[in-house]
Amino acid sequence: MDARLNLFASPTAAKFVKYILSAGKVLENSTLPMTTQALVTLRASQINGCGYCTDMHFKDALAAGEDPLRLNLVAAWREATVFTEAERAALELTEEGTRIADAAGGVSDEVWANAAKHYDEDQLAALVGAIALINTWNRLNVITRNPAGDYQPGQFG
């Protein structure tokens, strides 16, 4: 399977991707734990059916030392005992923020308040940014049918 559009070959797409990558650097330099960011990106990618991003974020998290058991249980985080309360709050916010069209009110006050118990304002800003950013990447890759399976950890450096 080939991608419909090479996001790096098209001048417009390449420029767009460059700016999105810059937004990612802001999040990498935030105080939101990288483990939380990895769980959020993996979960949103699963929800959105983005094989490319699911492959990438699973492999990058493994390479960074994340426990494969935890990664395998991200889709079933509610029933799993391997996540902290803070990670659970981030995963819940991720799900509601990703499935925003499924809820008449968007993200509930309860979900937001739970996340706010575990993260300070700067970390909440990074968490919201991470959810928004991965949803952008998911949509780019799903729309262009970017194939999954060949990603190598750290490939985009």
Domain ranges across the chain: 49-150
What is the mean predicted confidence (pLDDT) over 64-89?
A: 97
Domain 49-150 has CATH 1.20.1260.10: no
What is the mean predicted confidence (pLDDT) over 58-63?
A: 96
pLDDT at 104 over 80: no
Q: What percent of the chain has pLDDT over 70?
A: 99
pLDDT at 1 over 80: no
Find out whether 88 and 77 touch, Cβ atoms under 8 Å. yes
Q: What percent of the chain has pLDDT over 90?
A: 90
Per-state percent for the chain, helix, strand, coil, to nearest 5: 65, 0, 35
The rounded distance, in Å, linking the Cα atoms of 134 and 136 is 5
pTM of the model: 0.95
- Residue 11 neighbours by CB distance under 10 Å: 7
Find out whether 23 and 133 touch, Cβ atoms under 8 Å. yes
pLDDT band for position 3 (50/70/90)? Answer: very high
